[in-house]
C-alpha cells in the first residue's frame, strides 16, 4: 500500500507541476508593455532584423494562399525585411479559435477585429495593444488614408486599439428591385418615398407573377428590415439604440418605440397579404439567391454607391435601387472591419509597419485582396482588372470575397464589370454622410453580461418571428417587451446611457 | 416446428424492413437532392421526385478534387491510426478493470469514469495540447484528443469483459502457465471480437466524423480533414444566418455554396463509411464460444 | 513497477504487476488528456483576463453562473433538458434493445447485415444536414408533409415551425431515428456474446421465443444495460446541441419546447464569447450529472454490486 500511495503522490506532484507550467504560459505576458518593445528607429527597412508577422483574419482557405503569401513577402522583404504568414480562420470558428489562440499566447501580430466581434470586450479583457504611439511612429500611410474622426471612432477611453479598414464608412438604406419587372409593370419609382408606398408595388407583382414572392430578407433567417432598413444608431450592436441618430443622446429600448411597433404592423400586413415568404422565419436561403433563381422580386439592403450595380452582378438580374433614408456614419459602421495588434505580438512595431503598407502600398494591397496578376486576374487597363480566360469565381485559386477587409480599399483595382470611379464616389459618399451624434462611442458590455445573456435568448425567441410578420405583433409585442424587461434590458439601457453620457463629456 | 419458425422469421423480417425503410428514406432524399437541379430546389424545395436532375454539384466538387482527395487522405490516415491505437489502449485498460480480483479496481474504474463527468473545459485542454505538447497544426492534434472519447468505451468494454468472459476460463489459462498478457491476447481478445468490432466501428466513425479537433487545433489547410472541410462550410452558413455581424456587411462575407453542393458534400462524407462497414460486420460472429476457444 | 524491491506484501502486487502495466498507457493518457486540464475549472470562478492568464485573473465567486439562473427561462430550460433526457433514455433502451433482439433472430446473414448497415445510416448524417431534411419534410412552402401527405388525408396544412406543441414528438422521433442504430449495435454485440448453449438447452426444454428472450437474453445483458443507462444519467443536464438547435432551425416560436441548457448557453454567449461564463455552464451541467450518477450508482450497488460502475 505504501508504494502505491507514494506513486499516487508523485503522480499528483507531476500534475501540480504541469499545472504551474500552464499558469506560467498564460501569465507570460503579464503587464507586458503596451508600447513598443523594440524600437528600430532607422528609416531604412533593410537594416531591420528579419521578422515574420502572423496575420489572423476570417476567411475560407484558398488554394493559392501560399503563392500569394510568397509574392507579398517579396515586397515586404524588400521594404521592411519582413515576411507575413497569412492565417485565414473560418468565420464560424473565429470567436472560439481566436479566444483560444490569445489564451494560449500563440503568436499573432495582426488580427482582424470588429465591433461585431466584441471589440469593446477584447480591450476590456486586455487582449489588444494600444496603438496611438505606433500609429504616430509608423502609420503615416494610415493617417493619410483615414479621416481623423474615422481613426478615432475606434478609440476607447481616448485610446486607440484598432485601425478601421478604409471602405464605405457610412450607409443609407433602401430597396433593390428587379429592373425588368419594374419596367414591365411600369412601376413609377419616383413615387416610392417611404415603405408605405410599397404596398401597391408588391400587389402588382403578386397579381402578375404568381410564382414569385414580392419581398424577401437579404440574409437568411432574418426579417426584411434587418440590416436593410434601419432608422437608428445601434450603439454597438443594438438593444439600446439612438433613434434618428440623435434623440438628444437619450438611449432607448428600440423594441418599445412606436417606430418599431409601426414597422411590425407594416410587416404583419405584408405577410398577411402574401408579400412575404410563408417560411420566412426559418428560411435558409439567402435573399440574393432567391432573386437570382427567379423566386423573389425585391429585398431591402444597406446601401453604398453603386449598390445596384453590385447587386445586379451578384444576382445575375439587373437590379434597380430606391433609397429611402439619408446616409449616416456610425461607430458600428466604421468599426465593423478593423485591424488590431494582439498582446501576443512579439514585435508590435513591425506589425504596424506591415499594416501601414496595407493602407498605402497599392501593389501589396491588391496582391492581398485579389491575388497574383496573370494568375488570378488580368489587367484590362491601369486600374481595371478581370478574370483571366478560363477562370471565374467558381474556380479561381484565390478570392476571399472580402476586399473591404484588407486595409485601404481605395487602393483596389476595380473589376471591369464595375464603375472605375467607384472609390472617388465612395470617398464622397463617406464625406457627405451625416454623422451620428454618438459617432465614436463604443459600449463596454462587461458590467451587464448577465443581462445580455438573458436578453440574447429573448431576442432569438421573438425577433425573427415578429420581423418576418409570422407572429402577430398585437399579441406578441407586449409579451416580448415584458420578457425583455424581466431579462433585465433596462439595466443594459441605463448602463449604456451612463457610458454614453460619460463619453459625451469627453467629446466637448 | 418448421412452419412456426418461418412465421417468426417473416414477422422479424417485416418489422426490420419497415424500420430499415424509415432509416434509409431520408438518406435517399439526401442523395436525390444532391443530384437535383439547383433551380428546382429553390423553387420547390427538396423532393423525392424533382423536376430536373443535374450533376452540377458533383462537378463543382470536382473542381476542388485536389483539396477533397487530400482531405480524404488526411481523414483516412487519422482514422486508421486513431482507431488502432485507441482499440489497443482501450482494451488494455478495460481488461484489468474488469477483473474482480484486481486490487483497487473500483478506484481505477472511478478514476476513469470521473473523466466522463467533469472536464476542465476547452481552454485548458487547448493549453495542454498546444503549450505542453506542440500539437498545433499537426496530425497528432487530430488523433490524440480522441483516443478514449470520454472513457465511454472503456466502461463499455470493461462490462463486456466482466460479463462474457467467465473467470474460470481465465483461471484455467493461468493454470496452464500462461502469463496475464498471454491470456489476454490468446483467450480474452478472441472471445471479445464482437465488442472489439463495435468499439472499432464507433471509433472509426468518430475519427471519420470528427471536425471539432480540426477546427480548434488546425489552421493549416493542408491538414484539413474531410469533415472539417465540410463542417466549416455548413457552420459558416449557419453562423451567417444567426449572427448580427454578417447582416451589417454589404457583401456576403463567405462564399456560400449552393444547396445541392452542401448535399453532395454530405454524400461524399458518408459513402466511405458505408463501404467500410461490412469489414466490421465480419467480426459480428455468433458462436465464438468459450467451448470453441477451449476446444 | 516490475523492479520494486522485495517486501512483505509485494507478492500480491507482483502477481498483478502485469495487469497494472497493461493499464499504464490508458491511465497516463487520462491524466494528461482529462485530469491535467481540470485545473481549468477555476476559470468559471474568475474574471478571465488574457493579459493576466488563468491563474492571475481576479476571483469573482459565482458571478459567471448568475446568467444561468437569473432568467425566467431557467426553470423551463432545466425542465426541458431533464424531461427530454428521461424520455430519450427510456425509449432508446426499449427500441434499441428490441431491434437488437430482432436482428439477432434474423437467420439470413446477408439480410441481418443489410439491416444493421441501414439502421446505422442516420447516425452518420450530420445534424446540420438532418435539419435540412426535416425542413424538407415540414416546410410550409415546399414541405413533403404539407404538400403531399396532409392533403391526401384531407387535413389543413400545419405551420410546423411556429407551433411548439408538436416539437416534443418531432425531436423525440428524430433523436430515436438518429441514435437508436448506434445503441442497437452495442446491444447486439452483447447479445451475440451470449453462449448459444443456453438457447440450445432452452429450446430442448420447449421454451418459446418470448420466454427465451425474457429469461436468457435480457438477464444476461443487464450489466451492459446498466452501464449504458448510468452513463446516460451522468449526462442528463447535457443535450445534443445539434438536435435542439439545428433541427428546429433556431425558430424562436418553438423555444418553449426546444430550448435546453445547451442551446440557452449558446444563444446567450454567441455574441459575448465569454470564456468564464461558458466554463461556468459546463461545470454546472457536469456537477449535476456527477451527483446523479453517484446516487444511481449507489442504488445499483445496493442491489447488485457487480453491476455497479465503481
In a domain, B59, yes or no: no
B-facing residues of A in 389-418 (CB < 8 A) are 393-395, 399, 401-402, 404
Chain A residue closest in CA terms to C17: A4
CB contact under 8 A, B121 and C129: no
Phi/psi at A113 (5° precision): -140, 150
Among B77-81, B247-251, C90-94, the minimum mean pLDDT is found in B247-251
**Residue C18 pLDDT:** 87
Whole-number mean pLDDT of chain B?
82
Together in a domain, B228 and B247: yes
pLDDT of B243 higher than 60 = no
How do beta strands A328-329 and A434-435 pair? parallel
Q: How many domains does chain B have?
A: 2
**Residue A429 pLDDT:** 93
List the subunits that have 3+ CB pairs under 8 angstroms with B: A, C
CB count within 10 Å of CB A262 equals 13
In a domain, B186, yes or no: yes
Chain C residue closest in CA terms to A105: C50
Of the residues C27, C97, C128, the best mutation for testing chain B's interface (the one with the most B CB atoms within 10 Å of its CB) is C128
Q: What domain range includes position A491?
A: 172-326+445-508
Q: Quick one: which of C74, C259, C64 has its CA closest to A454?
A: C74
Together in a domain, A154 and A198: no
pLDDT in tens, B154-163: 988 998 888 8
As a whole number, mean pLDDT of residues B163-178 equals 81
In a domain, A25, yes or no: no
Q: Residue B253: pLDDT band by 50, 70, 90 thresholds? A: very low
Nearest residue, CB atoms, A281 vs list C13, C48, C161: C161
**Residue B254 pLDDT:** 43
Q: With an 8 Å Cβ cutoff, is B212 touching chain C?
A: no
Together in a domain, B271 and B191: yes
pLDDT in tens, B112-155: 988 888 888 888 889 889 988 889 999 999 999 988 877 889 98
> Helix, strand or coil for residue B134?
coil
Together in a domain, B104 and B154: yes
The CATH number covering residue A268 comes to 3.40.190.10
pLDDT of C38 higher than 50 = yes
C-facing residues of A in 212-231 (CB < 8 A) are 221
Classify residue A416 as exposed, middle or buried by CB count within 10 Å of its CB (0-12, 13-18, 19+): middle
Q: Quick one: which of B229, B100, B238, B218 has its CA closest to B170?
A: B100
**Residue C15 pLDDT:** 75
**Residue A22 pLDDT:** 47
In a domain, A493, yes or no: yes
Tell me the nearest-neighbour CA distance from C302 into chain B, angstroms.
Answer: 15
Q: How many domains does chain A have?
A: 2
C-facing residues of B in 144-163 (CB < 8 A) are 144-145, 147-148, 151-152, 154-156, 159-160, 162-163
pLDDT in tens, A417-429: 788 889 999 999 9
What is the fold, at CATH topology level, of the domain defined by C71-303?
MetI-like fold (1.10.3720)
- What DSSP letter does each residue of chain C carry, written as one string? -TTPPP-SSHHHHHHHHHHHHHHHHHHHHHIIIIIGGGGGGGGGGEE--TTTHHHHSEE-TTGGGHHHHSSTTHHHHHHHHHHHHHHHHHHHHHHHHHHHHHHHH---HHHHHHHHHHHHHHHHS-HHHHHHHHHHHH-TTT-HIIIIIHHHHTPPP--GGG-GGGHHHHHHHHHHHHHHHHHHHHHHHHHHTS-HHHHHHHHHTT--HHHHIIIIIHHHHHHHHHHHHHHHHHTTT---HHHHHTTTTT-GGGHHHH--HHHHHHHHHTTT--HHHHHHHHHHHHHHHHHHHHHHHHHHHHH-TTTS--
B227 compared with C170, residue with greater pLDDT = C170
Strand partners of residue A177: A298, A320
Nearest residue, CB atoms, A394 vs list B43, B63, B240: B63
Together in a domain, B84 and B44: no
Q: What domain range includes position B15?
A: 1-54
C-facing residues of A in 86-125 (CB < 8 A) are 95-96, 99, 102-103, 117-118, 121, 125
Domain ranges of chain C: 1-61, 71-303
Reading the block at residue A228, the C-alpha cell is 436593410
Together in a domain, A52 and A151: yes
pLDDT above 70 coverage of chain B, percent: 87
Q: With an 8 Å Cβ cutoff, is A106 touching chain B?
A: yes
**Residue B67 pLDDT:** 82
pLDDT in tens, B257-286: 677 888 888 898 888 888 888 888 888 765
Together in a domain, A263 and A132: no
Question: How is residue A85 annotated by DSSP?
Answer: E
The CA–CA distances, whole Å, from A248 to A253, A493, B147 equal: 15, 15, 60
The CATH number covering residue B287 comes to 1.10.3720.10
Together in a domain, B41 and B93: no
> Helix, strand or coil for residue A172?
strand
The CA–CA distances, whole Å, from B102 to C5, C19, C283 equal: 21, 8, 33
Chain A and chain B share a number of CB contacts under 8 A equal to 146
Reading the block at residue C219, the C-alpha cell is 438477464
Q: With an 8 Å Cβ cutoff, is A281 touching chain B?
A: no
In a domain, A72, yes or no: yes
CB contact under 8 A, A91 and B254: yes
Together in a domain, A344 and A451: no
Together in a domain, B167 and B23: no
Together in a domain, A455 and A311: yes
Together in a domain, A200 and A322: yes
Together in a domain, B191 and B215: yes
Together in a domain, A312 and A341: no
A2 compared with B175, residue with greater pLDDT = B175
pLDDT of B36 higher than 70 = yes
Together in a domain, A492 and A431: no
In a domain, A12, yes or no: no
CB count within 10 Å of CB C9 equals 11
Together in a domain, B71 and B46: no
Of A439, A457, A475, the one marking the end of a domain is A439
- Rounded distance between C-alpha atoms, residue B209 and residue B203, angstroms: 10
Together in a domain, B208 and B257: yes
Chain A residue closest in CA terms to B256: A286
**Residue A37 pLDDT:** 40
Nearest residue, CB atoms, A289 vs list B42, B60, B130: B42
Together in a domain, B39 and B127: no
For residue A361, how many C-alpha atoms fall within 13 Å in the half-sphere facing its CB? 18
**Residue B148 pLDDT:** 84
Q: Quick one: which of B210, B227, B200 has its CA closest to B86?
A: B200
Q: With an 8 Å Cβ cutoff, is B77 touching chain C?
A: no
**Interface ipTM:** 0.85
Together in a domain, A415 and A452: no
Of the residues B58, B138, B222, B245, the best mutation for testing chain A's interface (the one with the most A CB atoms within 10 Å of its CB) is B245
Please identify every stretch of chain A with a pLDDT value under 50, giving residue numbers as ranges.
Answer: 1-8, 10-13, 17-43
In a domain, A68, yes or no: yes
**Residue A77 pLDDT:** 92
What sign results for the dihedral spanned by CA atoms A463, A500, A301, B242?
negative
**Residue A92 pLDDT:** 80
Together in a domain, A146 and A208: no
Amino acid at each position: 500500500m505504501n508504494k502505491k500511495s507514494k506513486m499516487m503522490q508523485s503522480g499528483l506532484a507531476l500534475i501540480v507541476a504541469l499545472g504551474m507550467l500552464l499558469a506560467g504560459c498564460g501569465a507570460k505576458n503579464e503587464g507586458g508593455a503596451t508600447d513598443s518593445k523594440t524600437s528600430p528607429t532607422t528609416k531604412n527597412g533593410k537594416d531591420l532584423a528579419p521578422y515574420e508577422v502572423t496575420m489572423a483574419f476570417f476567411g475560407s482557405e484558398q488554394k493559392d494562399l501560399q503563392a500569394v503569401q510568397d509574392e507579398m513577402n517579396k515586397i515586404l522583404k524588400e521594404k521592411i525585411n519582413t515576411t507575413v504568414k497569412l492565417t485565414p480562420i473560418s468565420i464560424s470558428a473565429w470567436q472560439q479559435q481566436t479566444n483560444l489562440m490569445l489564451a494560449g499566447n500563440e503568436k499573432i501580430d495582426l488580427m482582424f477585429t470588429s465591433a461585431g466581434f466584441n471589440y469593446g470586450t477584447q480591450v476590456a479583457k486586455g487582449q489588444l495593444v494600444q496603438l496611438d504611439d505606433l500609429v504616430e511612429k509608423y502609420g503615416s500611410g494610415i493617417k493619410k488614408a483615414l479621416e481623423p474622426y474615422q481613426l478615432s471612432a475606434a478609440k476607447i477611453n481616448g485610446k486607440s486599439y484598432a485601425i478601421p479598414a478604409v471602405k464605405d464608412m457610412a450607409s443609407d438604406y433602401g430597396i433593390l428591385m428587379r429592373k425588368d419587372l419594374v419596367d414591365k409593370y411600369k412601376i413609377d419609382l419616383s413615387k416610392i418615398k417611404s415603405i408605405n408606398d410599397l404596398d401597391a408595388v408588391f400587389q402588382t407583382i403578386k397579381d402578375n407573377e404568381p410564382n414569385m414572392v414580392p419581398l424577401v430578407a437579404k440574409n437568411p433567417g432574418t426579417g426584411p428590415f434587418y440590416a436593410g432598413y434601419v432608422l437608428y444608431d445601434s450603439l454597438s450592436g443594438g438593444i439600446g439604440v439612438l433613434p434618428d441618430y440623435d434623440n438628444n443622446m437619450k438611449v432607448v429600448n428600440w423594441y418599445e418605440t412606436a417606430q418599431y411597433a409601426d414597422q411590425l404592423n407594416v410587416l404583419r400586413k405584408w405577410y398577411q397579404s402574401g408579400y412575404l415568404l410563408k417560411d420566412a422565419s426559418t428560411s435558409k436561403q439567402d435573399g440574393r439567391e432567391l432573386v437570382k433563381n427567379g423566386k423573389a422580386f425585391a429585398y431591402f439592403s444597406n446601401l453604398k454607391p453603386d449598390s445596384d450595380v453590385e447587386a445586379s452582378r451578384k444576382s445575375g438580374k439587373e437590379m434597380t435601387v430606391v433609397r429611402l433614408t439619408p446616409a449616416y456614419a456610425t461607430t458600428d459602421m466604421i468599426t465593423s472591419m478593423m485591424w488590431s495588434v494582439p498582446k501576443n505580438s512579439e514585435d508590435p512595431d513591425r506589425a504596424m509597419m506591415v499594416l501601414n503598407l496595407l493602407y498605402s502600398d497599392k501593389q501589396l494591397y491588391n496582391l492581398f485582396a485579389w491575388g497574383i496578376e496573370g494568375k488570378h486576374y488580368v489587367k484590362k487597363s491601369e486600374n481595371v482588372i478581370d478574370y483571366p480566360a478560363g477562370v471565374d469565381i467558381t474556380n479561381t485559386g484565390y478570392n476571399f470575397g472580402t476586399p473591404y477587409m484588407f486595409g485601404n480599399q481605395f487602393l483596389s483595382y476595380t473589376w471591369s464589370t464595375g464603375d472605375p470611379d467607384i472609390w472617388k464616389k465612395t470617398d464622397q459618399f463617406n464625406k457627405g454622410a451625416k454623422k451620428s451624434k454618438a459617432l465614436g462611442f463604443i459600449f463596454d458590455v462587461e458590467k451587464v453580461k448577465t443581462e445580455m445573456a438573458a436578453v440574447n435568448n429573448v431576442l432569438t425567441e421573438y425577433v425573427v418571428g415578429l420581423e418576418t410578420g409570422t407572429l402577430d405583433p398585437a399579441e406578441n409585442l407586449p409579451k416580448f417587451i415584458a420578457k425583455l424587461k424581466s431579462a433585465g434590458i433596462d439595466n443594459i439601457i441605463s448602463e449604456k446611457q451612463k457610458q454614453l453620457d460619460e463619453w459625451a463629456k469627453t467629446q466637448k | 416446428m418448421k412452419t412456426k419458425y418461418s412465421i417468426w422469421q417473416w414477422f422479424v423480417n417485416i418489422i426490420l424492413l419497415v424500420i430499415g425503410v424509415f432509416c434509409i428514406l431520408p438518406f435517399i432524399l439526401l442523395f436525390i437532392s444532391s443530384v437535383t437541379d439547383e433551380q428546382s430546389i429553390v423553387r420547390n424545395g427538396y423532393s423525392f421526385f424533382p423536376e430536373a436532375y443535374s450533376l452540377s454539384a458533383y462537378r463543382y466538387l470536382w473542381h476542388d478534387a485536389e483539396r477533397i482527395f487530400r482531405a480524404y487522405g488526411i481523414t483516412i490516415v487519422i482514422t486508421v491510426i486513431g482507431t488502432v491505437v485507441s482499440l489497443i489502449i482501450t482494451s488494455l485498460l478495460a481488461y484489468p478493470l474488469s477483473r474482480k480480483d484486481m486490487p483497487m479496481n473500483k478506484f481505477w474504474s472511478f478514476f476513469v469514469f470521473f473523466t466522463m463527468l467533469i472536464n476542465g473545459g476547452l481552454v485548458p485542454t487547448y493549453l495542454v495540447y498546444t503549450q505542453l505538447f506542440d500539437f498545433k497544426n499537426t496530425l497528432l492534434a487530430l488523433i490524440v484528443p480522441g483516443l478514449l472519447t470520454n472513457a465511454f468505451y472503456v466502461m463499455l468494454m470493461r462490462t463486456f469483459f466482466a460479463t462474457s468472459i467467465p473467470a474460470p476460463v481465465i483461471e484455467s489459462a493461468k493454470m496452464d502457465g500462461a502469463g496475464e498478457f498471454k491470456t489476454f491476447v490468446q483467450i480474452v481478445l478472441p472471445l471479445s471480437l464482437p465488442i472489439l468490432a463495435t468499439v472499432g466501428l464507433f471509433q472509426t466513425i468518430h475519427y471519420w466524423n470528427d471536425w471539432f479537433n480540426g477546427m480548434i487545433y488546425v489552421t493549416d489547410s493542408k491538414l484539413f480533414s474531410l469533415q472539417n472541410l465540410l463542417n466549416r462550410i455548413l457552420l459558416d452558413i449557419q453562423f451567417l444566418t444567426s449572427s448580427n455581424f454578417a447582416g451589417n456587411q454589404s457583401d456576403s462575407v463567405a462564399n456560400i455554396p449552393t444547396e445541392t453542393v452542401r448535399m453532395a458534400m454530405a454524400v461524399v462524407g458518408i459513402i466511405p463509411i458505408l463501404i467500410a462497414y461490412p469489414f466490421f460486420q465480419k467480426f459480428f460472429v455468433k458462436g465464438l464460444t468459450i467451448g470453441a476457444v477451449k476446444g | 513497477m516490475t523492479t520494486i524491491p522485495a517486501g512483505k506484501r509485494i507478492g500480491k502486487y507482483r502477481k498483478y504487476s502485469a495487469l497494472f502495466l497493461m493499464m499504464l498507457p490508458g491511465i497516463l493518457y487520462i491524466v494528461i488528456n482529462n485530469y491535467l486540464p481540470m485545473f481549468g475549472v477555476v476559470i468559471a470562478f474568475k474574471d478571465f483576463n488574457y493579459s493576466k492568464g488563468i491563474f492571475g485573473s481576479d476571483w469573482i465567486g459565482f458571478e459567471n453562473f448568475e446568467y444561468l439562473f437569473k432568467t425566467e427561462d431557467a426553470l423551463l430550460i432545466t425542465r426541458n433538458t431533464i424531461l427530454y433526457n428521461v424520455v430519450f433514455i427510456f425509449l432508446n433502451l426499449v427500441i434499441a434493445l428490441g431491434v437488437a433482439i430482432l436482428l439477432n433472430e434474423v437467420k439470413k446473414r446477408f439480410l441481418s447485415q443489410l439491416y444493421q448497415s441501414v439502421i446505422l445510416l442516420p447516425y452518420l448524417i450530420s445534424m446540420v444536414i438532418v435539419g435540412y431534411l426535416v425542413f424538407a419534410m415540414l416546410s410550409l412552402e415546399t414541405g413533403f408533409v404539407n404538400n403531399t401527405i396532409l392533403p391526401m388525408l384531407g387535413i389543413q396544412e400545419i405551420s410546423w415551425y411556429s407551433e411548439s406543441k408538436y416539437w416534443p414528438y418531432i425531436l423525440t422521433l428524430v433523436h430515436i431515428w438518429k441514435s437508436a442504430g448506434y445503441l442497437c449495435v452495442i446491444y447486439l454485440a452483447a447479445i451475440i456474446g451470449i453462449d448459444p448453449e443456453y438457447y440450445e438447452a432452452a429450446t430442448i426444454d420447449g421454451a418459446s421465443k418470448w420466454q427465451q428472450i425474457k429469461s436468457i437474453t435480457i438477464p444476461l445483458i443487464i450489466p451492459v444495460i446498466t452501464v449504458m443507462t448510468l452513463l446516460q444519467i451522468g449526462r442528463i443536464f447535457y443535450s445534443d446541441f445539434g438536435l435542439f438547435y439545428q433541427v428546429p432551425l433556431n425558430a424562436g416560436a418553438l423555444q418553449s419546447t426546444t430550448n435546453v441548457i445547451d442551446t440557452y448557453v449558446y444563444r446567450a454567449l454567441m455574441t459575448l464569447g465569454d470564456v468564464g461564463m461558458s466554463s461556468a455552464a459546463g461545470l454546472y451541467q457536469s456537477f449535476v450529472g456527477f451527483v446523479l450518477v453517484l446516487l444511481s450508482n449507489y442504488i445499483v450497488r445496493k442491489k447488485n454490486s457487480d453491476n455497479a460502475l465503481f
